[in-house]
Amino acid sequence: MDRFYRDVLTLGDEDPAKLPPLNTDKGLVGEVSFVTDGDIQMHLTPRDVLNSFRSGQVVNPLERGHIAYRTDDIVAFMAHLDAQGVPYSDWGSDAVKGWHQVFFYDPDGNVIEVHQLVAVK
């Protein structure tokens, strides 16, 4: 996956200074590539179908990688998902310190993340 998105879609590395640390003590394990075209960021992870059991979250962002979007109001976005009847997993900042993340599936089963920057405790 990493090579495909880099070689075929010519995505490059996100600036490491802009990335928060992964929270490896909360169930997220393995390598994550943050690739970008300069405007849109994609998170690529090795497949790990057992991660949902370790993390306790139903929607598993490590199942096959996912598309990620950033919002300025995660609470309003979760209310929007609720109003639309879209179930989601609220990871809070369990996976990435400094991001409040929610994950859900699109109709084809692709994992979508929406996150908001939050203060690191």
Compute the mean pLDDT over every residue in the chain, rounded to the nearest whole number: 81
Q: Is the pLDDT of residue 111 over 80?
A: yes
The Cα–Cα gap between 93 and 18 comes to 16
Q: Is the pLDDT of residue 73 over 90?
A: yes
Tens-place pLDDT, residues 20-44 = 777 777 656 567 788 888 887 877 7
Nearest of 82, 85, 90, 84 to residue 114 by alpha carbon? 90
Look up residue 108 and give its amino acid.
D
3-state class of 99 per DSSP?
strand
3-state class of 77 per DSSP?
helix
Domains of the chain: 2-117 (3.30.720.110)
Q: What is the pTM of this model?
A: 0.59
Tens-place pLDDT, residues 39-71 = 878 777 777 777 777 777 776 666 667 888 888
